[in-house]
Amino acid sequence: PESFDSLGGAVQQVYKQLVADNKIIVKEEMEPPKVPMDYDWARKLGLIRKPAAFISTICDERGQELSYCGVPITSILERQLGVGGTISLLWFQRELPDWACKFFE
């Protein structure tokens, strides 16, 4: 092709020529598998994998509530630790004094 814009037409023309010469056999598209309606049922049958649950030294995403260094996220919000307190839990894996948390903020 003379330009990139005409590349699609050139590819289509070559494809049609290869199909006409029987060098490419066109197959019918397969229907994708149906997604099961009930998640627990499908998991028991082994049709789908279990949900991801990431665990690291600083964050635990298992269960219903996220926790940083063993401190539930609701506790962080209720105690109003803020960005500095959250960073202290994530980076230093402990609660730092107020002056250090304010420094981070």
Over the stretch 40-70, which tens digit does the pLDDT of each residue have? 887 788 777 776 666 666 677 777 787 888 8
User: Does the residue 3 lie in any domain?
Assistant: no
Q: 76, 85 in Cβ contact below 8 A?
A: yes
User: Does the residue 43 lie in any domain?
Assistant: no
User: Does the residue 88 lie in any domain?
Assistant: yes
User: Does the residue 12 lie in any domain?
Assistant: no
User: Does the residue 78 lie in any domain?
Assistant: yes
User: Does the residue 26 lie in any domain?
Assistant: no
Distances (CA, A) of 28 to 24, 25, 34, 75: 13, 10, 18, 56
67 strand-pairing partners: 60, 72
- Give the separation between CA 35 and CA 17, rounded to whole angstroms: 38
Counted domains in the chain: 1
On the question of pLDDT at 13 being above 80, the answer is: yes
Could you list the residue range(s) of the whole structural domain that residue 63 is in? 59-104
User: Does the residue 97 lie in any domain?
Assistant: yes
List, as one string, the DSSP characters of 52-88.
P--B-SSEE--SSS-EETTEEHHHHHHTT-HHHHHHH
62-100 pLDDT tens trace: 777 878 888 888 888 898 888 888 888 888 888 888 888
